[in-house]
Amino acid sequence: MIGTTGWHDEEPAVRDALAGTTVGVLAAPNFAIGVNLFLAIAEQSAHLLVARGFAPWIHEAHHAAKKDAPSGTAVGLRRVVERAGAAVDVSSTRAGHIPGTHT
């Protein structure tokens, strides 16, 4: 199970290493049920809105100690929205003690 971000450049090597074995990998940007429901809703919404000319964007805010920017959740959100054919700008704020927020 992979629940970390920043490893996607290594995905081909992981696939090659596991080819022909009985080992599987479950990878997700976020394992929270609510986030995964949000991603599904965002993908369906993107198809409807992009077809009508809307231009999606993502901004996320997290505490100053968060290591990755954008977060894996924001990257996953961008990926599902891009499936609708949209280019998606992503911006990030890292400051203070902000709880994770994605808009």
- List residues with catalytic annotation: 62, 66
Q: Which helix (H) or strand (E) holds 38?
A: helix 33-50
Name 102's bridge partners: 60
Select from 50, 60, 59 the least CA-distant residue to 82: 50
* Amino acid letter for position 95: A
